[in-house]
């Protein structure tokens, strides 16, 4: 008979099981909330989800890792697989509710949450049970920092650690120890959590909310803002509150959440001057300034917002939300198409493409890569103006001085091109569904860059194939492609080997 001996799959499953185990305990929070709020149906579905997480974890960890050395590819592939498994299991409580039309819709919602995108297919969001709303916001908050980062706070599987964090887009070593790095990321997040929820709760109380509701909305807004996630408990997003102070606090956390965790660490514990020297901050200032100028000119020219207050409160808020991947909106989504016009949409699309910093909660090209790209262009121009025998060493400053090598430039350009290609594929899929080119590109960019702004294309009635396309682009965009390619290649190689090198007993 045939004996299947896979090369990489058992190790990938083993690592996935380890990471899923710690993610499972997040479900205990909505279980407690459902019990307190007497949401008994949700209590049962979350309890089932918890035990399913544990069961899958134990099943996967039954694959022994002692067969051979655990390498980078295993950590990267496990990272990509964790996000798919988490999507499928985390969707169960949503599916059992009456607020999602199908299991596919529930999977879309959870992938949107764990990738901190914020596009939603929830029906009657304004009346979603509190425990389910807490679950949605927990997904974006936990996964904004990273599923792997959470797991590594408690456990570093033998031979793996940093490579898994790289696969998740967290490639900064804050401390020599991987567990120390993970704890530092979570320490930074929790300090800001306390500050953000306190400030927002005070505003909510002055706004007239009772303490429990002020706390709930403050938690939701903070999770959405810091994690640049996009989910909010009301269908009108930030427009629901009509509160300029909520909006100001939210924008502050858009920016903070989109800054590199490594830079946060250095500024807090080592040198505050790094904040003004880092290439990502310089690039952030440059891109934000240019895009703000273009958007202001376009909105004023078309008489959309003619005075400073609405221009700032409406136009700038949308721009910042797009640029830093927050996905919050204080206008109706249809206004992008009916009011802003093509020029305004193009500016927002560019903002979504650029994204936030590397090793942050934001998506997009990343400011580091944009900075490297333009630095490389200027460096080439400078070389052309110098004598042929001149030796020029170009550097960038990202926490430390880094020599700008061809490898760094090549890697940045490759990832940017992968994003662009994915944006275009998503746009074509949207156009096949009968949407305009500009709206399709807007929606595809929002999904791939993990932003969450929408022109209205994303809704429960859109074709199933388009939902699947957006799920894949959200997943690949959040993991920056490489981890997903490694996972696919590993499974393909192992399965193919069964047909070329079978062992017969």
pLDDT of residue 383: 75
Provide the 8-state DSSP code for 502: P
| Cα gap 494→492, rounded to integer Å | 6
Q: Tell me what percent of the residues of the chain surpass a pLDDT of 90.
A: 52
The answer to whether residue 416 is domain-embedded is no
pLDDT of residue 152: 57
The answer to whether residue 470 is domain-embedded is no
Average pLDDT over residues 482-489: 84
pLDDT of residue 167: 43
φ, ψ at 39 (rounded to 5°): -95, 80
Lowest mean pLDDT, pick from 6-10, 17-21, 289-293: 6-10
The answer to whether residue 108 is domain-embedded is yes
| Cα gap 105→110, rounded to integer Å | 9
Per the CB < 8 A criterion, the answer to whether 408 and 402 are in contact is yes
How do residues 166-223 score in pLDDT, each as one tens digit? Answer: 444 445 554 445 666 667 777 888 899 999 999 999 999 998 899 999 999 999 999 9
Which residue's entry shows tokens 């290609």? 421
Q: Tell me what percent of the residues of the chain surpass a pLDDT of 70.
A: 87
The answer to whether residue 129 is domain-embedded is yes
Per the structure, the count of domains in the chain is 1
The answer to whether residue 226 is domain-embedded is no
The answer to whether residue 477 is domain-embedded is no
The answer to whether residue 61 is domain-embedded is yes
Is the pTM for the entire model greater than 0.75?
yes
| Cα gap 17→37, rounded to integer Å | 32
How do residues 351-395 score in pLDDT, each as one tens digit? Answer: 999 998 888 888 899 999 999 998 888 877 877 777 766 666 778
The answer to whether residue 354 is domain-embedded is no
Mean pLDDT of the residues in the chain: 85
pLDDT of residue 181: 66
pLDDT of residue 491: 76
Residue-range definition of the domain harbouring residue 106: 1-169
């Amino acid at each position: 008979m045939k004996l299947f001996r896979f090369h990489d799959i058992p190790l990938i499953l083993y690592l996935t099981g380890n990471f899923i185990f710690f993610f499972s305990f997040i479900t205990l929070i909505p279980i407690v909330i459902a019990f307190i709020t007497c949401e008994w149906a949700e209590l049962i579905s979350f309890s089932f989800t918890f035990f399913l997480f544990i069961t899958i974890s134990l099943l996967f960890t039954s694959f022994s890792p002692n067969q051979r050395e655990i390498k980078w590819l295993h950590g990267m592939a496990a990272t990509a697989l964790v996000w798919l498994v988490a999507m499928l299991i985390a969707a169960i409580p949503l599916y059992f509710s009456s607020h999602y039309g199908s299991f596919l819709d529930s999977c879309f919602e959870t992938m949107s949450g764990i990738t901190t995108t914020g596009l939603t297919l929830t029906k009657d969001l304004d009346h979603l049970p509190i425990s389910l709303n807490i679950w949605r916001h927990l997904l974006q908050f936990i996964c904004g920092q990273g599923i792997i980062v959470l797991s590594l706070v408690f456990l570093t599987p033998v031979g793996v650690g940093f490579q898994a964090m790289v696969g998740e887009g967290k490639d900064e070593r804050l401390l020599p120890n991987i567990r120390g790095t993970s704890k530092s990321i979570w320490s930074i997040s929790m300090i800001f959590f306390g500050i953000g929820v306190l400030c927002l709760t005070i505003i909510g109380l002055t706004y007239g909310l009772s303490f429990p509701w002020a706390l709930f909305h403050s938690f939701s807004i903070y999770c959405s803002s810091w994690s640049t996630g996009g989910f909010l408990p009301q269908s009108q997003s930030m427009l629901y509150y009509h509160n300029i102070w909520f909006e100001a606090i939210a924008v502050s956390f858009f920016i903070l959440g989109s800054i590199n965790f490594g830079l946060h660490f250095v500024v807090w514990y080592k040198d505050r001057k790094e904040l003004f020297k880092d290439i990502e901050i310089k690039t952030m200032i440059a891109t934000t300034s240019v895009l703000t100028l273009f958007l202001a000119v376009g909105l004023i020219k078309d008489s959309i917002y003619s005075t400073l207050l609405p221009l700032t409160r409406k136009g700038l808020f949308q721009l910042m939300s797009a640029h830093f991947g927050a996905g919050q909106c204080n206008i109706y989504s249809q206004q992008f198409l009916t009011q802003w016009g093509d020029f305004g949409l193009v500016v927002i699309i560019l903002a979504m493409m650029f994204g936030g910093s590397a090793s942050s909660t934001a998506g997009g090209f990343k400011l580091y890569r944009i900075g490297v790209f333009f630095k490389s262009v200027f460096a080439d121009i400078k070389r052309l103006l110098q004598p042929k025998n001149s030796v020029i060493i170009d550097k960038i400053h990202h926490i430390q001085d880094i020599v700008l090598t061809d490898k760094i430039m090549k890697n940045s350009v490759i990832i940017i091109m992968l994003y662009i290609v994915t944006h275009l594929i998503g746009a074509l899929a949207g156009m096949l569904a009968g949407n305009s080119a500009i709206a399709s590109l807007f929606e595809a960019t929002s999904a791939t860059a993990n932003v969450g702004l929408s022109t209205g294309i994303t809704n429960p009635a859109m074709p199933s194939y388009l939902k699947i396309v957006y799920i894949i682009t959200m997943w690949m965009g959040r993991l920056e492609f490489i981890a997903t390619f490694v996972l696919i290649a590993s499974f393909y190689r192992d399965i193919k080997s069964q047909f070329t090198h079978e062992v017969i007993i």
